[in-house]
A = this chain, B = another copy of it.
């Protein structure tokens, strides 16, 4: 015997969520049924709506319920002639929060990972090439993650950009501001040395 058929089904369905196994799915189901019925109904409704309506921006591929996301639709974002390549919509939010960047984005929704079947097509690099061909960008800023996959992806995209005559830059990697040298991993520290700059007088 397990729980009632519908409760068993709920516990199973919750395991579609990343990091949720049978035990935490059970805990979630009980909590929803005992204390969070209104919040649970709301979640069911919003989840259904989100999965029906949220797609990818036709231009930059970020998540949006519009054809074209507000950032791409904003003509002011074209003025700088910059295009920043990131792996995830969360990276767009993080960069926007710095207030440092006024250009456009292209969101890969991942990185090259041949073993997982993620190639240039899955990252929308055809669309990127089309975009580079039709709009004249001055600078493409590679802001993929400083991981092996992120670096490989950055190199691949740099080639595409150069073939369209667009200048390419990579965001700097190094010791985080406020970080302590001895707490930073060795790889970051070597990046930080290799990327050193002349100290202002």
Task: List the number of copies, as a whole number.
Answer: 2
When the two chains form their complex, are residues A7 and B63 in contact, meaning their CB atoms are under 8 A apart? Answer: yes
When the two chains form their complex, are residues B4 and A16 in contact, meaning their CB atoms are under 8 A apart? Answer: no
Is A78 part of the contact surface with B, judged by Cβ < 8 Å? Answer: no
**In whole angstroms, what is the CA distance A117 to B49 when docked?**
36
**In whole angstroms, what is the CA distance A175 to B103 when docked?**
65
List residues of chain B with CB within 8 A of the CB of A196. Answer: none
Partner of A51, one of B14, B32, B51: B32
Given known pairs A33-B51, A51-B33, the reply for A2 and B93 (CB within 8 Å) is yes
**In whole angstroms, what is the CA distance A18 to B64 when docked?**
27
List residues of chain B with CB within 8 A of the CB of A65. Answer: 4-7
**In whole angstroms, what is the CA distance A63 to B11 when docked?**
13
Given known pairs A3-B93, A54-B4, A64-B4, the reply for A47 and B32 (CB within 8 Å) is yes
Is A184 part of the contact surface with B, judged by Cβ < 8 Å? Answer: no
Further 16 A-B residue pairs, CB within 8 A, beyond A30-B89, A41-B51 = A3-B89, A4-B64, A7-B50, A9-B50, A10-B54, A13-B47, A16-B39, A16-B42, A17-B43, A32-B47, A32-B51, A33-B54, A40-B47, A40-B51, A41-B48, A44-B47
